[in-house]
C-alpha cells in the first residue's frame, strides 16, 4: 500500500469510525454506565471486531456475502433483531447505579456485535472494494487494512466512550439517567432504519 493509498484509507476509516452508528452509541452508553476504565474492554472489542471483519472482507468474505442475496438478507435480519434487542437493553437499563456501575459490555460481546452490525458490513465491504489493489497479495493487503482500521477505530471509539464518561456528571439523578438511557436506546433503534430501507 502506497503512502497516498494509506492516507486515503485513513481518511475513509476516520469518517467511518467517528460518525454516529450502533457501535458508537454502545460505546457512549457504556461510558456513561460504567466509566472509562471498565469501558475499555468494550472499546477494544469494537476495534478488534471491526479489524477482523475488515480483514475477512478483504480476503473475500464480503464478496461471498454480497454474492448470495439470501445470505445477505439473513445477516441483515439478524443484525436488525440484535440492534433492536440491544436498544431495548440500553433503554431499559437500571438507573441510580452510575457510581457502582452495571455490568460492562465485554470484549467478546463488543467483538461479536460487529459481525451483526449492518454499518460494519457496509464499511468493510466498501473498503475492500475500494482500496484493494489487484497487483498486491490479498492477505497482506487485508492485514494492512485491518491494522490501520484497528488504530483508527480505537482512537475514534475512545472519543465516544469518553463522551459517555463526560455525560456521567449530567446524569446525577435517576430521572436524567432514565432519559439518557431512553435516548441512547431510541438512537440505536432508529439506526435500524438505515439498513432496512
Residue 159: predicted pLDDT: 96
In a 3-state reduction of DSSP, which class is residue 171? Answer: helix
**Could you tell me if residue 78 is inside a domain?**
yes
Residue 45: predicted pLDDT: 96
Q: How far is the C-alpha of 157 from the C-alpha of 154, rounded, in Å?
A: 5
Residue 52: predicted pLDDT: 94
Per-residue pLDDT of the chain (197 residues; tens, 9 = 90+): 677 777 888 888 888 899 888 889 889 988 988 889 999 999 999 999 999 998 988 887 766 665 667 766 776 777 777 778 877 877 777 766 544 446 778 899 999 988 888 778 778 887 777 777 767 777 888 888 899 999 999 999 999 999 999 988 787 777 887 888 888 788 777 776 766 65
Closest CA to 120 of 166, 79, 164: 79
**Could you tell me if residue 23 is inside a domain?**
no
Q: How far is the C-alpha of 65 from the C-alpha of 52, rounded, in Å?
A: 15
**Could you tell me if residue 4 is inside a domain?**
no
Q: Which residues contact 192 (CB under 8 A, 6 or more apart)?
A: 80, 83, 84, 87
Q: How far is the C-alpha of 97 from the C-alpha of 101, rounded, in Å?
A: 5
**Could you tell me if residue 61 is inside a domain?**
yes
**Could you tell me if residue 110 is inside a domain?**
yes
**Could you tell me if residue 155 is inside a domain?**
yes
**Could you tell me if residue 47 is inside a domain?**
yes
Ramachandran category for residue 112: left, alpha or beta (phi over 0 → left; psi -120 to 50 → alpha)? alpha
Q: Can you give the residue range of the structural domain that contains 163?
A: 42-94+101-196
Q: How far is the C-alpha of 197 from the C-alpha of 186, rounded, in Å?
A: 18
**Could you tell me if residue 6 is inside a domain?**
no
Number of domains in the chain: 1
Amino acid at each position: 500500500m502506497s503512502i497516498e493509498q494509506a492516507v486515503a484509507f485513513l481518511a475513509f476509516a476516520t469518517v467511518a469510525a467517528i460518525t454516529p452508528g450502533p457501535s458508537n452509541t454502545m460505546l457512549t452508553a457504556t461510558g456513561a454506565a460504567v466509566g472509562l476504565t471498565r469501558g475499555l474492554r468494550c472499546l477494544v472489542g469494537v476495534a478488534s471486531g471491526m479489524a477482523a471483519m475488515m480483514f475477512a472482507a478483504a480476503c473475500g468474505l464480503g464478496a461471498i456475502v454480497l454474492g448470495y442475496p439470501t445470505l445477505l438478507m439473513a445477516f441483515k435480519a439478524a443484525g436488525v433483531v440484535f440492534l433492536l434487542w440491544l436498544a431495548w437493553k440500553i433503554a431499559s437499563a437500571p438507573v441510580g447505579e452510575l457510581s457502582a456501575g452495571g455490568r460492562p459490555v465485554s470484549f467478546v460481546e463488543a467483538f461479536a456485535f460487529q459481525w451483526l452490525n449492518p454499518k460494519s458490513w457496509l464499511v468493510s465491504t466498501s473498503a475492500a472494494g475500494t482500496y484493494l489493489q489487484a497487483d498486491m497479495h490479498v492477505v497482506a493487503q487485508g492485514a494492512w487494512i485491518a491494522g490501520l482500521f484497528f488504530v483508527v477505530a480505537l482512537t475514534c471509539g475512545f472519543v465516544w466512550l469518553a463522551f459517555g464518561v463526560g455525560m456521567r456528571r449530567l446524569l446525577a439523578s435517576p430521572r436524567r439517567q432514565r432519559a439518557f438511557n431512553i435516548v441512547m436506546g431510541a438512537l440505536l433503534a432508529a439506526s435500524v432504519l438505515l439498513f432496512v430501507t
